[in-house]
């Protein structure tokens, strides 16, 4: 990877991170009224209001307040919850494993379904089975994840009673209980991701299967399965890797509805709780954390993309 590419990539990451920090700061800083009174609400006393105003530097100009806040953030201080006094970062980190598990399992299930279906659909392009797959994927793509979740709850939790409708069992307590508790939310999210991955991979595979090296592989008598999964899949998966990375970042904040519906104690539900409890500083910290996590995941995706396609490492400036 050239020095110029690294420079512009690093500059873009820093600029985006700066923009996210500004948005997260202004989200709270520009709230109408006395911010200290809004944050403290019913627990406000003259002494506590004065102390909070001093802590947040509310009497300083806006740009100085931002620099003061940013300095704290760079030291790992995202603020504290007003009611409990807990550090925002500690609370987020305690909830993060649930969200990470939900995201990773969602992508595993989505890719486990989409890759073979996408390859098969591309190989059988134009057949009735291919058309049925496309119609089914379009129907799933048009259905919101919370509607899918309601259908799954009715079928597997209420009707068949195979899986719990709500609740979470930590992995440390029971592996089977943990997988059962996240099965429905993971499936609800995955079924929304499958159509995107399937249609993208199918489109890329169709183009790849028309390349000369595929014709050569067929000519030397390689089995169809090997051609599809070894020769055609890798060059067809580059754009898929990018989309998976973007979706992983999106799911960091986009799983709010699913976490709330299934009572999963993740970062998404924490955001909802902080809004309802008027924990404005906690809300600000979560927004910043999710935004930076999204950027970090996309940066990691670019690195994986370069590993999968080494030509990117040899590009000229």
Residue 108 is predicted with a pLDDT of 94
The lowest-confidence range among 23-27, 230-234, 262-266 is 230-234
Euclidean distance between the first and the last CA atom of the chain, given in angstroms as a whole number? 9
Compute, in degrees rounded to 10, the torsion defined by CA atoms 222, 224, 226, 232.
Answer: 110
Residue 8 is predicted with a pLDDT of 56
Question: In this predicted model, which residue has the larger pLDDT, 304 or 37?
Answer: 37
For residue 200, name the pLDDT band (cuts at 50, 70, 90).
very high
pLDDT, tens digit (0-9, with 9 covering 90-100), for 24-33: 999 888 888 7
pLDDT, tens digit (0-9, with 9 covering 90-100), for 293-315: 888 888 887 777 666 665 555 55
Question: In this predicted model, which residue has the larger pLDDT, 145 or 43?
Answer: 145
pLDDT, tens digit (0-9, with 9 covering 90-100), for 38-83: 777 777 778 888 887 887 777 788 888 899 889 989 888 888 887 7
For residue 243, name the pLDDT band (cuts at 50, 70, 90).
confident
Instruction: Provide the sign of the torsion angle of the four alpha carbons 252, 255, 257, 259, taken in this order.
Output: negative
Mean of pLDDT values over 207-220: 85
**φ and ψ at 87, to 5 degrees?**
-70, 135
Residue 102 is predicted with a pLDDT of 93
Domain chopping of the chain, boundaries: 3-74, 92-309
**Residue 296 CB neighbours (<10 A):** 14
Residue 182, pLDDT above cutoff 90: yes
Residues in the chain: 317
Q: Which DSSP string do the residues of the chain spell out, in sequence order?
A: --HHHHHHHHHHHHHHHHHHHHHHHHHHHT-SS-HHHHHHGGG--HHHHHHHHHHHTTTS-HHHHHHHHHHHHHTT---B-TTT--BHHHHHHHHHHHHHHHHHHHHHHHHHHHHHHHHHHHHTTTSHHHHHHHHHHHHHHTS-HHHHHHHHIIIIIIIS--S-SS----TTT-HHHHHHHHHHHHHHHHHHHHHHHHHHHHHHHHHHTTSHHHHHHHHTT--HHHIIIIIIHHHHSHHHHHHHHHHHHHHHHHTHHHHHHTT--SHHHHHHHHHHTT-HHHHHHHHHHHHHHHHHHHHHHHHHHHHHSGGGGG---
Mean of pLDDT values over 104-128: 91
Percent of the chain, pLDDT > 70?
A: 92
Mean of pLDDT values over 144-161: 91
Residue 147, pLDDT above cutoff 60: yes
Mean of pLDDT values over 214-218: 85
Compute, in degrees rounded to 10, the torsion defined by CA atoms 207, 213, 219, 220.
Answer: -140
Residue 1 is predicted with a pLDDT of 45
- CA 122 to chain centroid, in Å, comes to 28
- In words, the CATH class of domain 92-309 is mainly alpha
Report the range out of 197-206, 233-242, 301-310 with the highest average pLDDT: 197-206
Q: What predicted TM-score, i.e. pTM, was given to this entire model?
A: 0.84
């Amino acid at each position: 990877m050239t020095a110029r590419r690294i420079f512009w990539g690093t500059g873009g990451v820093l600029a985006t991170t700066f923009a996210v920090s500004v948005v997260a700061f202004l989200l709270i800083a520009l709230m109408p009224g006395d911010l200290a009174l809004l944050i403290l609400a019913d627990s406000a006393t003259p002494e506590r209001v004065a102390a909070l105003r001093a802590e947040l530097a509310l009497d300083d100009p806006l740009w100085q307040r931002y620099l003061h806040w940013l300095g704290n953030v760079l030291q790992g201080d995202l603020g504290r919850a007003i009611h409990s006094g807990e550090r925002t970062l500690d609370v987020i980190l305690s909830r993060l494993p649930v969200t990470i598990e939900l995201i990773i399992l969602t992508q595993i299930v989505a890719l486990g379904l989409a890759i073979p279906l996408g390859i098969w659909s591309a190989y059988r392009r134009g057949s009735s089975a291919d058309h049925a797959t496309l119609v089914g994927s379009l129907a799933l793509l048009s259905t919101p994840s919370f509607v899918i979740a309601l259908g799954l709850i009715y079928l597997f939790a209420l009707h068949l009673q195979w899986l719990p409708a709500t609740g979470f069992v930590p992995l440390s307590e029971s592996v089977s209980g943990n997988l059962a508790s996240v099965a429905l939310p993971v499936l609800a999210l995955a079924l929304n991701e499958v159509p995107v991955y399937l249609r993208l991979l199918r489109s890329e595979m169709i183009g790849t299967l028309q390349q000369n090296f595929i014709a050569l592989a067929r000519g030397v008598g390689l089995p169809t399965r090997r051609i599809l999964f070894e020769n055609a899949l890798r060059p067809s998966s580059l754009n898929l890797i990018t989309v998976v990375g973007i979706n992983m970042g999106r799911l960091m904040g986009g799983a709010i509805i699913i976490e709330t519906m299934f009572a999963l104690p993740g970062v998404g539900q924490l955001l909802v709780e902080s809004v309802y409890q008027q924990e404005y500083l906690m809300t600000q910290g979560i927004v910043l954390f999710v935004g930076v996590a999204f950027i970090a995941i996309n940066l990691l995706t670019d690195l994986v993309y370069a590993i999968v396609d080494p030509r990117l490492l040899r590009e000229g400036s």
